[in-house]
Amino acid sequence: MDPARYEETAFGRAQRTPGPHGYVAYFPRPIPRHLAVSAVNVVLLSDAEAALGRLAGAGRLLPEPQLLVGPYLRREAVASTRIEGTRASLGDIFDAEASDRPPDADVEEVINYIAAMETGLERLATLPLSTRLIREMYSTILAGVRGRERQPGELRSSQNWIGAPGDTIDTAVFVPPPASEVQPLLDDLERFVHDPPQLPVLVQAALIHYQFETIHPFLDGNGRLGRLLVVFFLVIRDRLPAPLLYLSPYFERRRTRYYDALQMVREAGDFDAWLALFLEAVATQAADAVARAERLTDLRERYRHTVRAATRGQANRLVDLAFEQPVLTAIMVERRLGVTRPAALTSLRQLEELGILRPSPVGPRRQLRWTASEVMEILTADES
């Protein structure tokens, strides 16, 4: 890491560690409690707050927002892990969840991330947003996948760095603080979360994400966890009634700008550029979430009307399940709806006859599956 690129700012400084084998690392300062927001970002902040308010309002009006939380969570998991190098698609995830065959490595990483998010959201009911909670989620993310040898659930006890393949600690683009600095910095981050300064909530969220990525407290998985902290923070601050906002799809499409913006805070204290990107992401993704929610809600009501007019039994409950899990099997329907196998098959074939479900190619062990194609089209629109 080239120390000449780093100015000493309110966010931290680059300096050499002591001893004969010292190296240059970045030493973050505690999160600033006072910041001036530029005129340009004041406008972006207003737009982002308005978009977030519309999403929160839509979430409160939805009769069953949980039907959207699962699919939205999976969109986030796919995009967030793609930033880290996986190539799984949303269709791959729903297909794997409907199958009983072992997933490939990329799909398993996404499924672990989903499990970590769900675990974290459940634990928020009894545990504050804290280092302990983050460590639990980290352990889940790395369970059984690449990186599992990297102290899952434990803060790092050795130095890591960010750079191109083959980079050393001397040639790396960025070297986070030594391991001895990690716990005190996380303690400060916790204090910031639970005793926030007089700053707009979205500015606080941008600071939290930046600081977590800069501390880089784990040997792997920091990016995924750092992006997850944003939505958790907005939920505990009552800015969202449910975790419906996810920023990774926006950052994934602008990966270079995302990394560069974070790096410029470290090198030059340029928080303004990072905040602008963050606020743009919030405004864009909140609007996207509202638009998808409206399309999915309209489609659900149309399906329910069609089913009520044409069938009886479990078909309406199956419509709801198809929005939560657009790839279905008889075994899944049997388990989720608590019905017999014949009843599950009858409902699936009724929805197939109505054009709501489309039979898919026979899976492993000749397992039939059905796909809610229009639901998938809405969820994957503009996915790249």
- Do 26 and 94 have their domain in common? yes
**Residues 117-148: tens digit of each pLDDT:** 888 988 988 889 999 999 999 988 887 665 55
CATH of the domain at 177: 1.10.3290.10
Going from the C-alpha of 373 to that of each of 67, 168, 199, 239, 356, the distances in angstroms are 16, 47, 44, 32, 8
Q: What percent of the chain has pLDDT over 90?
A: 68
The domain total for the chain is: 2
Establish if 59 belongs to a structural domain: no
Is residue 57, in this structure, part of any structural domain at all?
no
Which of 225, 254, 278 corresponds to the end of one domain?
A: 278
Are 341 and 267 within one domain? no
> Are 190 and 326 within one domain?
no
Does residue 287 fall inside a structural domain?
A: no
Q: Give the model confidence (pLDDT) of 14-70 as tens digits.
A: 999 998 889 999 999 999 999 999 999 999 999 999 999 999 998 887 767 777 888
pTM: 0.91
Domain that holds residue 331: 311-380
Task: Note whether 211 and 334 are same-domain residues.
Answer: no
Tally of CB atoms within 10 A around 63:
8
Determine phi and psi for 12, rounding to 5 degrees. 155, -170
Q: How far, in Å, CA of 261 to CA of 305, rounded?
A: 48
Q: Name the domain boundary from 228, 255, 278.
A: 278
Average pLDDT score, the chain: 90
Torsion of CA 120, 252, 86, 129, to 10 degrees: -10
Question: How far apart (Å, rounded) are the C-alpha atoms in residues 262 and 148?
Answer: 26
Tell me the average pLDDT across 89-110: 88
d(CA 69, CA 62): 11
**Distance (Å, whole) CA 345 – CA 353:** 12
Q: What is the pLDDT of residues 210-251, one digit of tens each?
A: 999 999 999 988 998 999 899 999 999 999 988 889 999 999
**Spatial distance between the Cα atoms of 230 and 226, rounded to a whole number of angstroms:** 7
For 41, what's the count of Cα atoms within 13 Å in the CB-facing half-sphere?
A: 19
As given in the structure block, the two tokens for residue 115 are 């499990």
- Domain co-membership, 89 together with 221: yes
Determine which helix (DSSP H) or strand (DSSP E) holds 23, and give its type and residue range.
none
Distance CA 215, CA 96 (A): 34
Does the pLDDT value for residue 384 go beyond 50?
A: no
Which two tokens mark 121?
Answer: 């959201």
> For 335-375, what is each residue's pLDDT tens digit?
999 999 999 999 999 999 999 999 987 655 667 899 999 99
Q: Is residue 192 part of a domain?
A: yes
DSSP assignment of 290-321 equals: HHHHHHHHHHHHHHHHHHHHH--TTHHHHHHH
Distance CA 12, CA 29 (A): 5
The reply to whether 207 and 141 lie within a common domain is yes
Q: Which of 255, 278, 301 is the last residue of a domain?
A: 278
Same domain, 106 and 148: yes
Q: Is residue 304 part of a domain?
A: no
Strand partners, 15: 25
Q: Is there a domain that residue 117 lies in?
A: yes
DSSP state of 148: T
Closest CA to 114 of 132, 98, 90: 90
In a domain, 230, yes or no: yes
Higher confidence at residue 225 or residue 102? Answer: 225
Residues 214 and 360 in one domain: no
CA distance 239 to 231: 9
For 77, the token pair is 């998991």
CATH number at residue 371: 1.10.10.10
Q: Within a domain: residue 194?
A: yes
